[in-house]
Amino acid sequence: MPKKIVITGGPSSGKTTLISYLLKQGFQCMHEISRDVIIEAQKQGIEQLFLTDPLLFSQKLLDGRLKQFNDTKNLEKTYLFYDRGLPDVTAYMDYSNSEYPSHFKETCQNNRYDYIFLLPPWKEIYQQDNERYETFEEAEQIHHFLLKAYKDYGYNVIEIPFGTIENRMQFICNKLSL
């Protein structure tokens, strides 16, 4: 079974760009699913499902990320990178001060990753778009909720410094002894 590595961070911190770069370098990667959930809801006439029904949105994310987690058990690659992990769901729910059932935390606790890399908020690259509606200040708050959530689940969180995409990937490779 591959080592499961989460790349996480607040909106527009460079996660998806880093995941795409890792993929181009030959690493196995699982893409973020929240945009798919958002776009599907928009097709059904719900502009921002997270704002309209945060529990339903979060349940869809939890289910999708759990499926990603379980679908990888037979992969032959040594390392598998995820664009966000299960604890991101409870971190965002805590950020929005929304209640959620106990099975959310149980799912996060019972399905463990091997490494957690956190990208800090980066003002110079921050952009809002149709699916990313948070301000930079909100992205900073989300960062703190993500850090707290992963630490609360007992993870050692490794913060990735600012830098070029190549330097960020090299930082990760050095930490993983690749």
Separation of alpha carbons 124 and 103, rounded Å: 38
Residue 7 is predicted with a pLDDT of 97
Q: According to the model, what pLDDT value does residue 131 have?
A: 54
Q: Whose CA is closest to 173, among 86, 111, 115?
A: 115
Fold of 3-175: Rossmann fold (3.40.50)
Give CA–CA dist 11/134, Å, rounded. 7
Tell me the pTM: 0.90
Task: Give the separation between CA 15 and CA 117, rounded to whole angstroms.
Answer: 10
pLDDT of residue 128: 63
In the chain, domain spans: 3-175
- Checking DSSP bridges between strand 28-30 and strand 157-159, what pairing results, if any? unpaired
Both tokens of 122, joined, read: 């980066």
Low-confidence stretches of the chain (pLDDT < 50) are none
Q: How far apart are CA 113 and CA 81, in angstroms?
A: 10
User: Which pLDDT does position 38 carry in this prediction?
Assistant: 84
